[in-house]
C-alpha cells in the first residue's frame, strides 16, 4: 500500500487485547513492533475443554499488569513514553473485554493520552500489514479463527465488506471440537497439525460442506458429526494421526475452495489469510500454491500475529488515531458488532 495511505500514529502506541483467552499487550511504533507479549489461558481452560467466561475475566485481571510490565521492559521504555492507547472493545466475552477496556481508560486518564476502542476483527484483517506494509488494496481476506470464519473484501483501511461467513461452527471451532473427539487437548488446531505430520490425509474421506452449491458460505458442523461417526465406527482401530491429517485436509480444502472462489468473483489479485487458524502450515501452503498458480499475491502474517495478539490491535488503532478518531469514557464492551466503517469524527 502506498505509504501516504498508511498514515500511522506518530509515537509509541500501547495495544491491549483481552477479548477471549489471551491477555496481550504490545508496543507499536510506526510499523515496528517493539514488544508483543501474549499470556495465554489455554492451560487453564483445557480442564473444561473450552473457555469459561468468568474464569477468563479473572485470569485477564491477574495477567494484565505483569504482561504490561514485560511489554514495556522489552520495548525499553517506561509507561510515560506511551503516547496513545488502542484497545479491543468488541466483539468478544463482555467480562473479558471489560478488563482491557477499563485498564485502557485508567491508563489514558492517568497518562493524559488519547485512546481508541477497536473491533477485534479489524485487528485480524489488518494483521498482514505488520509483515508487509506494501499490501495492496482491494483484496480479499479469509479470516479464520476460533470464533470467526469470514470472507471479507477490503477496499482500503476502514472499508470492509463481508462477503460470506460460516453458517454454523467457525473453522477453529471445527479443529477444536474434532480434536476433542480424538482425545487431544485444547486448543485443538495446533494439536491436530502436530499429530497430522507425515500422516495420510486421504485415509478417511471427510465431507466438504456446500461444495457444489452456488455460495461462498462455509459450514463445519457436518464435519464434526462425520468425525464423531468415524471415531465410533473405528473404535480402537482408528489411526489417530491419519484421522488428524484427514480432518486438517477437509478443513483446508473447504477454505482453499472458498478463498479461490471469492478472490475470483471479486476480480482482485490478492488474497490474505488471517486469524488463529492461519497459523496452520498445511492451509498456508495450499493457499500459497493455488494463488501462485493463478498469478495472485498471497499474504499471511507470521504465526505470532495470526493468533490473538495486541500488535494487530495497536496497528488498527494507530491509523484510526492518526486519522483523528478518539473514544470517550462512555465506550463499552460489546459481545457482538458489525465490521467497523471509516473513521468516526
Q: Which residues bind ligand KG4 (CB under 6 A)?
A: 20, 145-147, 172, 175-176, 187-190, 193, 275-277, 279-280, 307-308
Shortest reach from residue 66's CB to Zn ion, in Å: 22
Contact partner at residue 189 from Zn ion, ligand KG4, none, CB < 5 to 8 Å by partner kind: ligand KG4
CB closer to ligand KG4, 107 vs 171: 171
Instruction: Let me know: does 154 contact 139? Beta carbons within 8 Å.
Output: yes
CB of 148 to ligand KG4, least distance (A): 6
Q: How far is the CB of 170 from Zn ion (least distance, A)?
A: 10
Binding mask 121-160 for Zn ion (x = CB under 5 A): ------------------------x---------------
Smallest distance, ligand KG4 to C-beta of residue 295, A: 27
97 and 26 in contact (C-beta within 8 Å)?
no
Cα distance between residue 161 and residue 208, in whole Å? 25
**3-state SS, residue 140:** strand
Minimum Å gap between C-beta 76 and ligand KG4 is: 27
CA pseudo-torsion sign 266, 272, 275, 280: positive
Q: How many CA atoms lie within 13 A of 333 on its CB side?
A: 22
* Residue 147 C-beta: closest distance to ligand KG4, Å: 4
279 binds, among ligand KG4, Zn ion, none (CB under 5 to 8 A by kind): ligand KG4
Which residue in this structure is represented by grid cell 485415509?
203
Minimum Å gap between C-beta 286 and ligand KG4 is 13
CB 155 within 8 A of CB 137: yes
* 105 Cβ neighbours under 8 A, 6+ residues apart: 115, 329, 331
Number of neighbours of residue 197 by Cβ within 10 angstroms = 12
Classified as helix, coil or strand, 152 is: strand
Beta bridge partners of 139: 154
124, 300 Cβ separation under 8 angstroms: no
**CA 249, CA 195: separation in Å to the nearest integer?**
13
Measure the CA–CA gap between 255 and 191, rounded to whole angstroms. Answer: 19
| CB nearer Zn ion, residue 154 or residue 206 | 154
Q: Which is nearer to ligand KG4, 183 or 328 (CB)?
A: 183
Of residues 14-43, those binding Zn ion (CB under 5 A): none
Residues 283-342 that bind Zn ion (CB under 5 A): 308
Q: Which does 301 bind (CB under 5 to 8 A by kind): Zn ion, ligand KG4, none?
A: none
277 touches which of Zn ion, ligand KG4, none (CB within 5 to 8 A by kind)? ligand KG4
Which partner in Zn ion, ligand KG4, none is near 246 (CB below 5 to 8 A by kind)? none
Choose between 173 and 308: whose C-beta lies nearer to Zn ion. 308
CA separation for the pair 327, 88 (Å, rounded):
12
Residue 172, contacted partner among ligand KG4, Zn ion, none, CB below 5-8 A by kind: ligand KG4
Residue 31, C-alpha cell as written in the block: 510499523
- Judged by the rule CB under 5 A, the positions of this chain that interact with Zn ion are 145, 308
Amino acid at each position: 500500500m502506498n505509504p501516504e495511505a498508511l498514515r500511522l500514529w506518530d509515537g509509541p502506541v500501547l495495544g491491549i487485547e483481552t477479548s477471549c483467552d489471551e491477555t496481550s499487550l504490545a508496543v507499536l511504533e510506526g510499523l515496528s513492533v517493539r514488544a508483543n507479549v501474549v499470556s495465554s489461558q489455554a492451560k487453564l481452560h483445557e480442564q473444561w475443554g473450552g473457555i469459561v467466561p468468568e474464569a477468563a475475566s479473572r485470569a485477564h485481571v491477574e495477567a494484565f499488569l505483569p504482561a504490561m510490565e514485560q511489554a514495556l521492559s522489552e520495548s525499553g521504555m517506561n509507561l510515560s513514553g506511551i503516547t496513545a492507547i488502542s484497545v479491543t472493545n468488541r466483539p468478544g466475552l463482555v467480562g473479558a473485554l471489560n478488563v482491557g477496556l477499563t485498564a485502557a481508560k485508567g491508563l489514558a486518564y492517568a497518562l493524559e493520552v488519547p485512546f481508541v476502542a477497536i473491533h477485534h476483527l479489524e485487528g485480524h484483517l489488518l494483521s498482514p500489514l505488520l509483515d508487509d506494509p506494501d499490501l495492496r488494496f482491494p483484496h480479499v481476506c479469509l479470516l479464520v479463527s476460533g470464533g470467526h470464519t469470514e470472507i471479507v473484501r477490503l477496499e482500503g483501511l476502514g472499508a470492509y465488506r463481508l462477503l460470506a461467513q460460516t453458517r454454523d461452527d467457525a473453522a477453529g471451532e471445527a479443529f477444536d471440537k474434532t480434536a476433542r473427539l480424538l482425545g487431544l487437548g485444547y486448543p485443538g488446531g495446533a494439536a491436530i497439525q502436530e499429530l497430522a505430520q507425515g500422516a495420510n490425509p486421504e485415509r478417511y474421506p471427510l465431507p466438504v460442506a456446500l461444495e457444489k452449491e452456488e455460495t461462498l458460505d462455509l459450514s463445519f458442523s457436518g464435519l464434526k458429526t462425520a468425525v464423531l461417526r468415524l471415531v465410533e465406527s473405528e473404535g480402537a482401530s482408528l489411526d489417530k494421526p491419519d484421522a488428524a491429517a484427514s480432518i486438517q485436509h477437509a478443513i483446508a480444502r473447504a477454505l482453499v475452495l472458498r478463498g479461490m472462489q471469492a478472490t475470483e468473483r471479486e476480480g482482485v489479485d490478492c488474497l490474505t489469510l488471517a486469524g488463529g487458524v492461519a497459523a496452520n502450515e498445511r492451509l498456508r501452503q495450499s493457499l500459497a500454491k493455488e494463488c501462485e498458480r493463478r498469478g495472485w499475491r498471497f499474504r499471511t502474517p507470521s504465526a505470532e500475529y495470526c493468533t490473538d495478539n495486541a500488535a494487530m490491535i495497536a496497528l488498527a488503532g494507530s491509523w484510526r488515531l492518526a486519522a483523528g478518531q478518539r473514544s470517550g469514557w462512555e465506550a463499552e464492551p460489546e459481545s457482538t458488532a458489525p465490521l467497523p466503517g471509516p473513521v468516526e469524527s
